[in-house]
Structure 1
Amino acid sequence: MADATKKAFVTGHPVKHSRSPKIHGHWLAKHGIDGSYQAIDIEPQDFAEFLKALQANGYQGGNVTIPHKEAAFALVARRDQAAQEIGAVNTLWFEDGTLWGGNTDGHGFAANLDDHAPGWAGKGPAVVLGAGGASRAVIHALKERGVADIRIVNRTLARAQELRDRFGAGVSAHGMEATNELLADAGLLVNTTALGMHGNEGLSADPAWLPDHAIVTDLVYVPLETPLLAAARARQLKTVDGLGMLLNQAVPGFEHWFGVRPRVTAELRALIVADLAPKP
């Protein structure tokens, strides 16, 4: 029956670049679910009204991306612990008619490392480059996994200090000039900045300063191998690209809306990698 179709969405402004419809569309087909998932561009001034009408419009929930994550945090009735600690919402769902907001970015980050660098959390201190929203999700995940020494490095020291104050014990704040010294005994280097994206090809840190056992991961996934990852690979360090975080953060939402917990497979990764390739 047509009215039994379960509906979900991703909303942002702009949102046409989102790979989420491809990811969720793949899982819907894979599991034979009568459902839909679409990208909806909503301007900031219309976002609150959009949320109010979700149930009336037949939506089970959806994803929220830039610039709506903080607004969603403020507007939902209930929040999960991750959203509460990170201060932003990227996933919406209903429980008994109540709109919940969660944040699955930290889950996606940790699951990506679990898949490609098992044992990563026990490698030693973590250096996190950047102090924006993505950094908050990473720090939350690191703390959840018991990383006891988390060093935030940011061009504007005050922003790093805000995160240090937010997350408390085991988190320290540093300016860029301290980076090399901080890398000397680090077990994990995480880039959460836009450096390394196509059109912004700088090197966020020099992996030459890292010990041989260190893992390097970059949240940027266009290109899949950023200058940071290329430099780390040249040094024969373990590297993990950012695409797996995108794929894994989508899992909990799909389960909330469609009742099945999907898997991140090589087939799904290949589908999205093909979509990332420059169009002729």
Structure 2
Amino acid sequence: MTVPDPAQPLRAYLFADPAAHSLSPRMHRAAFAHAGLNGNYEARQVPAPDLPAAVSSLRETGVLGANLSLPHKETALPLLDSLSKAARSIGAVNTIVHRNGRLHGDNTDAPGLRQALADAGYTFEQGADVIVLGAGGAARAAVYTALIMGEQNVWIVNRTLSRAQAIAHHWSAPDADFQVAAVPAGSAPWTRAALVINASSAGLNDPDQTPLDATFLARLPAGALVYDMVYKPEETRLMRDARAHGLAAENGLGMLAHQARLAFQAWTGADVPVEVFLGALAASGRAAAGSTG
């Protein structure tokens, strides 16, 4: 954690590609204001070849750190000086904290997802079946969350099966009480899955795109929850299809707010209530609804 100096403007960033869709600046600027800190948060579009230079710039005086989103959560690992236990286990970083010239990588996606699922009424139970869609850094956080919260069986579905297999291999253990496997969509245990998490970018900014054929949703049990990490649009096609089959469905706004709160706390030491972050997101939604642009 960098100790805030009231006379020194503080800076934090999001590095992503694309970055224009992000609601993180609204949340973190509201958090700076709530905490009474002179700071700013900026979303920067950083193509993959530019990531090393962008990460190196976080060592500058007055920089608290950065969030990472697609496609940087995994590739940033070797650029950092240290990693939290969670980031090392997950194999992905979404938060970089500047500590006196050194850069520490953490993962607040996993606890953010855990709290968002709890808010949605999902209860982790040992031996339950969870289906994760995607095979990037967000999917790694989803698998990790499912395993540490209940030793659940996790089935990873991804268009490129080899990427899903790499994640499954990372956590597979012959003597474990749970199973982690990469499977084609047609082989996933839809009829007994308690939770489906979309950890892919399918549907991001495109309300007609979906990561999953609706016929698979029709096979889910009545009590299953479909959690879409995508938060823009607020109702994705995956969510609409799930609700059309009588299933509960949530978007990623809750996870976004919870992970942001934890990142902000790591940067500043300020424990800003999650309601501040959720309020900024709600205000963003109202502004978008009233925009004519």
Whether TM exceeds 0.5 here: the answer is yes
Look up the match of 2:212: 204
The Cα of 1:3 is off from its aligned counterpart by 3.4
Amino acid at match of 1:136: R
Query: 1:64 matched to which residue of 2?
Result: 68
Whether the 8 Å CA contact 2:208–2:236 is kept in 1: the answer is no
Query: Which residue of structure 1 aligns with residue 262 of structure 2?
Result: 252
1:177 match: 186
- Write out per-residue CA displacement over residues 125-155 of structure 1, whole angstroms, 9 at most, x where no aligned residue: 1111222322111101111212421111223
- Identify if the C-alpha distance between structure 1 residues 71 and 130 changes in structure 2 by more than 3 Å, giving closer, same or farther: closer
State the AA in 2 paired with 1:204: L
**How many angstroms does 1:183 deviate by?**
0.9
CA distance in 2, matches of 1:61, 1:150: 32
Counterpart Cα distance in 2 of 1:275 and 1:83: 35
SS at match of 2:226: strand
Give the superposed CA RMSD.
Answer: 2.5
Name the CA shift for 1:39/1:157 in 2 (closer, same or farther; >3 Å): closer
Q: Following TM superposition, by how much is the alpha carbon of 1:97 offset from its aligned partner in structure 2, in angstroms?
A: 4.0
Q: Where do 1:158-169 residues align within 5 Å?
A: 158-169=162-173
Q: Does 1:35 align with 2:44?
A: no
Q: Using the aligned pairs only, state the percent identity.
A: 34
Question: Matched residues in 2 for 1:200 and 1:4: separation?
Answer: 45
Scaled by the length of structure 2, what TM-score is found? 0.84
Deviation (angstroms), 1:255: 0.6
Q: Residues 2-34 of structure 1: CA distance to partner in whole angstroms, max 9, x if unpaired?
A: 733322222234423321111101111222222
Q: Do structure 1's residue 273 and structure 2's residue 285 form an aligned pair?
A: yes
> Residue 242 in 1 paired to residue 252 in 2?
yes
Which 4+ stretches in 1 moved above 6 angstroms? none
Matches of 1:168 and 1:112, distance apart in 2: 26
Counterpart secondary structure, 2:44: strand
Which amino acid counterpart does residue 246 of structure 1 have in structure 2?
L
Counterpart selection for 2:134 from 88, 108, 130 = 130
1:185 maps to amino acid: R
- The CA deviation string for residues 194-252 of structure 1, in whole angstroms up to 9 with x for no partner, is 33441652461432211122111111222222222223223332222112122211112
- Alignment equivalent of 1:54, drawn from 55, 58, 71: 58
Q: Over residues 82-109 of structure 1, what are the superposed CA-to-partner deviations in whole Å (9 max), with x where a residue is unaligned?
A: 2212222221113354310112222221
Instruction: State the 1:43 CA deviation.
Output: 4.3
Cα contact 1:113–1:120 (8 A) shared by 2 = no
Q: For 2:27, give the aligned amino acid.
A: I
- Counterpart Cα distance in 1 of 2:290 and 2:166: 38
Q: Which residue of 2 aligns with 1:261?
A: 271
1:186 alignment partner in structure 2: 193
Q: What is the SS of the residue equivalent to 1:128?
A: strand
Q: Which residue of 2 aligns with 1:153?
A: 157
Q: Secondary structure at the match of 1:260?
A: coil
For structure 1, the 5+ residue unaligned runs are none
Do the aligned residues in 1 keep the contact of 2:122 with 2:225 (CA within 8 Å)? Answer: no
Tell me: CA distance 1:80–1:159, structure 2 relative to 1, closer, same or farther (3 Å). Answer: same
Q: Which amino acid aligns with 2:247?
A: L
